[in-house]
């Protein structure tokens, strides 16, 4: 068998394996239709509506049909359906001229008017077929917790707390290590989270196995916000851009990054 024939056999076998996998059902929360406008039409306030026309008075999309057209385009993958979806106008209804932060966007090009809208990028990416790994629609994730639920409230609060503590080394999470100021700041944040219903045994949106697996207990200093990857027990949480260049050939990039970023890391952690 030639190399060409072997390649065909391997690829066909991989395609057959992918085709026999069970494709999970995609489940969404009911938030898309639960929140309504005063006229009874769905508001889609919890859905992705960026790029559509929004009202300056309440921040909601002007016409629910625009979102429905967007969904139809995503389902069909037809470029025409995306073109038929109205994009948001960059000129607000207040009558005040809109000025882009980008100077280039404000400049007319080839005799045209300045940029009035900005289209989507890769809006049909979910419809493409990739030759590597499982098909994009062969995997799924649990539905997002409903707006107003204990779980979503806790998730949002955790994000804010992690932002407050992103420059804090994990040594400050261990009692008896580090300055008292650092330890107290971490303890205050964890105490605030533990007062939320989700960390006190709050209810989940449904009784599925997946939902029950997400149940959380009270946070403690020794385990809060730790991950499972290398270095997650060291910290601090900080932008990975500050660590760019690590692990280069002959460790040159690592030394270079250490020389540049160590003072920055020290400054960020000095609280």
- DSSP per residue over 212-252, as a string? HHT------TTTTT--SSTTTTT-----GGGGTTTT-GGGH
Contact assessment for residue 165 and residue 186, using Cβ atoms and an 8 Å cutoff: yes
pLDDT tens sequence across 173-188 = 776 566 778 888 888 9
Q: Which two tokens stand for residue 53?
A: 């026309």
Q: Which two tokens stand for residue 102?
A: 């980008």
Q: CA-CA distance, 76 to 82, in Å (whole number)?
A: 9
Tell me if residue 107 falls in helix, strand or coil: coil
Q: Is 0.75 surpassed by the pTM of this model?
A: no
Contact assessment for residue 157 and residue 193, using Cβ atoms and an 8 Å cutoff: yes
pLDDT tens sequence across 23-67 = 888 888 889 889 999 899 999 999 989 888 888 788 889 899 999
Contact assessment for residue 119 and residue 84, using Cβ atoms and an 8 Å cutoff: no
Interior angle at CA 261, CA 258 and CA 265, nearest 5:
115
pLDDT tens sequence across 155-176 = 999 999 988 887 777 777 776 5
Within 8 A by CB and 6+ apart from 140, the residues are 24, 25, 26, 27
């Amino acid at each position: 068998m030639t190399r060409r024939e072997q390649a065909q056999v391997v690829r066909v076998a991989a395609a057959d394996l992918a085709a026999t996998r069970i494709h999970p059902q995609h489940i969404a929360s009911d938030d898309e239709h639960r929140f309504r406008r005063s006229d009874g039409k769905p508001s889609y306030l919890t859905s992705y509506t960026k790029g559509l026309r929004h009202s300056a008075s309440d921040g909601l999309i002007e016409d629910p049909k625009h979102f429905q057209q967007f969904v139809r385009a995503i389902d069909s993958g037809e470029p025409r359906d995306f073109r038929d979806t109205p994009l948001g106008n960059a000129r607000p209804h207040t009558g005040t001229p809109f000025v882009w932060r980008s100077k280039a966007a404000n400049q007319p090009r080839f005799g045209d008017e300045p940029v009035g809208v900005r289209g989507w990028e890769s809006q049909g990416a979910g419809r493409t077929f990739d030759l590597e790994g499982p098909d994009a629609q062969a995997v799924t994730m649990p539905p997002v917790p409903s707006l107003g639920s204990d779980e979503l409230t806790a998730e949002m609060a955790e994000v804010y707390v992690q932002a407050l503590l992103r420059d804090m080394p994990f040594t400050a999470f261990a009692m008896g290590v580090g300055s008292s100021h650092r330890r107290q700041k971490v303890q205050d944040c964890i105490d605030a989270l533990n007062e939320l219903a989700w960390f006190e045994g709050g209810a989940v949106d449904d009784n599925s196995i997946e939902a029950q697996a997400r149940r959380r207990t009270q946070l403690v200093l020794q385990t809060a916000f730790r991950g499972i990857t290398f270095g997650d027990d060291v910290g601090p949480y900080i932008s990975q851009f500050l660590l760019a260049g690590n692990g280069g050939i002959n460790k040159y990039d690592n030394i270079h990054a250490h020389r540049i970023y160590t003072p920055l890391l020290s400054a960020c952690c000095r609280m």
